[in-house]
């Protein structure tokens, strides 16, 4: 019994269709992809620079401001310990912020590009 359904897109073995190199280049040069890249960079670059600066401040203070970093805040807890814990907290905060940003701004744009590309196959 023959089916009237069109054959599936992709390879004869049922694998998904693979875009050509030219199609990838075309998408890469599209305004949509440029906007996606700008959106990502506008978030990632400033945050990366801020975090590296914060980390280097911690390292420099640890090396050259031992008196300040050794200042006891309460009990055996000093400034260096608090700054060290803040490094971990900052890392998790950035990961959380990026996750929210990507879900709100990057994923919809990326999905639109992907859908358009798959529709052309």
List the domain range (segments joined by +) for residue 99.
32-119
pLDDT of 112: 92
Per-residue pLDDT for 24 more than 70?
A: yes
51 CA to centre of own chain: 14
pLDDT of 7: 46
In a domain, 16, yes or no: no
- Give the phi and the psi of residue 97 in degrees, each rounded to 5: -60, -45
In a domain, 12, yes or no: no
User: DSSP letter string over 46-88?
Assistant: HHHHHHHHHHHHHHHHHHH-HHHHT-EEETTEEHHHHHHHHHH
In a domain, 24, yes or no: no
In a domain, 14, yes or no: no
In a domain, 80, yes or no: yes
Joined tokens for residue 13: 């073995």
Task: Report the number of distinct structural domains present in the chain.
Answer: 1
In a domain, 15, yes or no: no
Q: What percent of the chain has pLDDT over 70?
A: 86
pLDDT of 120: 77
In a domain, 38, yes or no: yes
Per-residue pLDDT for 89 more than 80?
A: yes
Joined tokens for residue 85: 């814990």
In a domain, 73, yes or no: yes
pTM for the predicted model, two decimal places: 0.75
pLDDT of 117: 85
Per-residue pLDDT for 4 more than 60?
A: no
């Amino acid at each position: 019994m023959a089916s009237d359904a069109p054959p599936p897109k992709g390879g004869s073995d049922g694998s998904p269709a693979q875009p050509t190199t030219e199609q990838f280049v075309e998408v890469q040069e599209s305004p949509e992809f440029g906007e996606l890249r700008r959106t990502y960079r506008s978030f990632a670059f400033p945050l990366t620079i801020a975090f590296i600066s914060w980390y280097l401040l911690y390292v420099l203070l640890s090396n050259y401001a031992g008196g300040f970093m050794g200042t006891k805040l309460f009990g055996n807890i000093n400034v260096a310990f608090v700054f060290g814990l803040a490094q971990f907290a900052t890392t998790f905060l950035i990961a959380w912020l990026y996750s929210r940003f990507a879900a709100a701004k990057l994923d919809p744009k990326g999905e639109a590009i992907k859908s358009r590309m798959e529709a052309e196959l």
